Amino acid sequence: MKKKSLRLTNDETYYYIERGTSKEVLILIHGNMSSGIHFKPLIELLETEYKIIAPDLRGFGDSSYNVAINSLEDLSDDIYLLMEELNIDKAHILGWSTGGAIALKFAAKYKEMCEKLILVESASFRGYPVFKKNELGQPIIGETYSTKEELALDAVQVLPIITALRNNDVATMKSIWDMVIYNVNNPSLEDDKLYLSETMKQRNLVDIDWCLTSFNMSNHSNGVCEGDDSIKDVRAKTLSLWGDSDIVVLESMVDETVNALSDANKIILENSGHSPMVDCPEELAKLISEFIE
């Protein structure tokens, strides 16, 4: 899929996929260890219905990483700047995984620009915890890292991925995706190769992991930081989709977000894991279309 590029007013260069000619715009915000390319099956199914914009976020894919992010809100602001450059006044916003948290913050901060909100296997509005590990590598629930530097040394969730990215170890990265993300279906060999090539371009893994742990839109602490209570500012009608075989995002994380929103509905995707774009693309596209209508 061919990408376009433009320079934002914050001097970051954003690469993005643009497909379709509809006046109705759907912006797809990808998650960690991915890029806009990972939405390929969904884009191909929806490009006749919507104008689709699928950017590579700052530090991912082909987009620049001139200034390191300090929060996921920085990426929400990038989406705002991208829309400004593309002269898009409002759009439906879809966020997958980490992209769900970014979409939530966007919907809270830029209410008038967000028509409907779609969360796909989304991180919680209270962030995504990385717990310390015991000698067996098992998480010690409730014990979180106090600094980004400490989190970077996590031998289970963080360090192996940093090492794979640093060494361009595609085989290890593939085994991680096959085990954690593709636990139901696998993409075609051609798509798998394409997705992995995009994953290996990430330059901000520790920053993203830290921003996820310190993301908190609630009105109380998430164990790492106090919340800013901005979840109450989300006005958009919301659809949250969760695969019953997702081992990355727990149903309880999805439920707490849905319950915190004023107008949200959850649909469970049966026999689908963390990437419904691979596990059930047709069902996913159908549910999105029905919701936007």
- Pairwise CA distance, residues 3 & 6, whole Å: 10
* 31-86 pLDDT, tens digit each: 999 999 999 999 999 999 999 999 999 999 999 999 999 999 999 999 999 999 99
| Amino acid residing at 75 | L
* 169-204 pLDDT, tens digit each: 999 999 999 999 999 999 999 999 999 999 999 999
- 234 is in which domain, residue-wise? 4-292
Tokens of 96: 């997958």
| Amino acid residing at 138 | Q
Residue 124: pLDDT over 90: yes
Q: Which residues make Cβ contacts (< 8 Å) with residue 13, sequence separation at least 6?
A: 5, 6, 7, 63, 64
**Which 3 state secondary structure label does DSSP give 73?**
helix
Q: Which residues make Cβ contacts (< 8 Å) with residue 182, sequence separation at least 6?
A: 273, 275, 278
* 136-150 pLDDT, tens digit each: 888 898 888 889 999
Domain count, the chain: 1
Name the region of 61 (left: φ>0; alpha: ψ -120 to 50; beta: rest).
left
CA-wise closest residue to 235 among 92, 124, 107, 122: 107
Dihedral over Cα of 170, 172, 174, 176: its sign: negative
Q: How confident is the model at residue 247 (pLDDT cuts 50, 70, 90)?
A: very high
CATH code of residue 224: 3.40.50.1820
Q: Which pTM was predicted?
A: 0.97
User: What angle do the packed helices 170-180 and 159-166 form, to 10 degrees?
Assistant: 140
Neighbours of 80 (CB within 10 A): 15
CA-wise closest residue to 17 among 56, 71, 50: 56
Q: Are 211 and 220 in contact (CB under 8 A)?
A: no
Q: Which residues make Cβ contacts (< 8 Å) with residue 124, sequence separation at least 6?
A: 101, 249, 253, 254, 256, 257
